[in-house]
Amino acid sequence: MIKQVQWSENQITPQQIPALELDEVRPQQLQQLQLVDNQATLQHVPASDLEISPKQPANISRSVAESVSEIPNQLYDRLGLAMPRWLLWILTVVLGIILSGLLASTLALWTPLWSNLDQTEEELGVAGKDQQKMPLPGEVWGKISQYQLSKPMNILIMGIEPVNGTVDGSPDSFAGKSDAMFMLRLNPGDKSIRALSIPKDTMIAIPEKGLTKVSDANAQGGPVLAARVVSRTLNNAPIDRYIRISTSGLRQLVDQLGGVEIFVPKPMEYKDSSGQMSSLVSGWQTLNGEQAEMFVRFREPGLGDLQRVQRQQALMKALVARLNSPTVLPRLPQLTRIMRRYFDTNLKIEEMMALVNFSLNVERDNFQMTVLPGGFSRFSQDPNSYWLNMTGQQSLLNDYVGVNVPGLKPDARAVPNLKIAIQNASNQPQLTEKVIKYLKQKGFKNVYPVPDWPDTQRQTQIIVQKGNRNVGVDLQTVVGLGQVEVSGAGDLESDLTIRIGKDWK
């Protein structure tokens, strides 16, 4: 049976993640998870309507305790051991400790970040016999695997600048501007996760406020207003839930992970709000929390927020890779506390379980990222203002937010007519002209070189900048090699970027 959670239209109400009581869900309540499109008219999220079964008695019967105490004696008699009984008891206790350690490690491995298993009695608000029962690893995983996502779901994710004078993690601390924003779409139809990065300087209209940047929406009206203006900007795209993350938690998260390994493409000098200067050199390095924050917040003059968006996507990949490292396992209890403190959402527990279950089964090629299409206006008073251009973007709207706009056509250009940037990462300068000449012989009309990528790569990459993986696969067929990646990591002016590796002969 599959757990049903009815996704109703929701008025976004900021709330911290509720405590987890996995042991109280009745098996007979398991049905299919349903989503209801809400066209971003957000209404109140009702409390969970699950029926809660009575808790099991905390005391263990005397007969059970006596039976357990007889196990070593029975083993001694059945095996005909010649060792003293006191030595057998010691070995039994040692074996029990080892098994307990393995159980604890397994539990830490499978416990999601939003679990309350590491909370103290004070944090839980319980004590004594009222304390919640800790679910076993099999119970946690078994229940998560029974929740399924049956319809596409859109989540608005915002990185919030902390408000000065507020306590980190308090409701007031989430009332600042959004330093990063993107729409996450989970689609069980094609088993994909797609992320649409929204530059913070994107120009939008706020009711009764006029024209402003999308980063102001959360500060002026919280997640409700932010969701409404983003939905309207994306042709009334449905927004089912929101997640807000305090950017002040980034440093602590990275430090707790022991740093993240990332490639810095060029030297960077950054001045923070207090006027203090920091710098990063180019090349591969392990960044601590302060350096990671600098990496994603550094802005170059004249390029607006787009290169910051590229670095945000690069950091996201590095964090995922670091979280998969076995050395992170002992740090999970502290990581859960950090994430709970700097994480605000209106997702309910059962909804999170469905998302976790879905995400675990998504293949690498089906995790795709792109940037909201647009450009900078020369006539704008603010040179960093970013103006949308949705011409020919029907496929992007359909794939990344689930919207079909009558009259808006998809980009139907054949691959040879697309803008293709050639970036050399092979450490063999002659290959740039060789690749350009080869593609022009194949009928490609708009092929141009861009500055070399400073990190030498073994394998050629075909980076799909505009979100449609099919065109990357078509180009891969023509050149006969290359790993297709759908992200905003290529040349910003291109449709496709070929990053030449050493495998190109």
- Residue 117 in this model has a pLDDT that exceeds 70: no
Q: What is the rounded average pLDDT for all residues in the chain? A: 75
* CA separation, residue 78 to residues 63, 85, 90, 95 (Å): 21, 13, 18, 19
Whole-angstrom distance, CA of residue 206 vs CA of residue 216: 9
Which band of pLDDT confidence, cut at 50, 70 and 90, is reported for residue 279? confident
Are 158 and 226 in contact, with CB atoms under 8 Å apart?
yes
Whole-angstrom distance, CA of residue 260 vs CA of residue 258: 7
| Per-residue pLDDT at 337 | 74
| Per-residue pLDDT at 37 | 40
Radius of gyration of the chain (CA): 27
- Residue 35 in this model has a pLDDT that exceeds 70: no
Which band of pLDDT confidence, cut at 50, 70 and 90, is reported for residue 8? very low
> Strand pairing partners for 180?
159
> Strand pairing partners for 387?
375
Give the other-Cβ count within 10 Å of 51's Cβ. 10
Which band of pLDDT confidence, cut at 50, 70 and 90, is reported for residue 154? very high
Whole-angstrom distance, CA of residue 296 vs CA of residue 283: 15
* CA separation, residue 96 to residues 72, 90, 101, 103, 138 (Å): 12, 10, 9, 10, 19
Q: Which residue has the higher pLDDT, 419 or 319?
A: 419
| Per-residue pLDDT at 273 | 62
- Residue 114 in this model has a pLDDT that exceeds 70: no
Structure tokens that stand for 106 in this block: 């397994």
Whole-angstrom distance, CA of residue 410 vs CA of residue 270: 40
Residues contacting residue 336 through CB under 8 Å, at least 6 positions apart: 111, 113, 114, 115, 117, 118
- Residue 151 in this model has a pLDDT that exceeds 80: yes
Q: What is the mean pLDDT of residues 84-106?
A: 51
Strand, helix or coil for residue 10: coil
Q: What is the mean pLDDT of residues 221-243?
A: 94
In this structure, of 38-47, 268-277, 425-434, the range with the lowest mean pLDDT score is 38-47
Q: What is the mean pLDDT of residues 185-205?
A: 93
Highest mean pLDDT among 57-71, 129-143, 287-301: 287-301
- Residue 11 in this model has a pLDDT that exceeds 60: no
H-helix segments, 156-216 = none
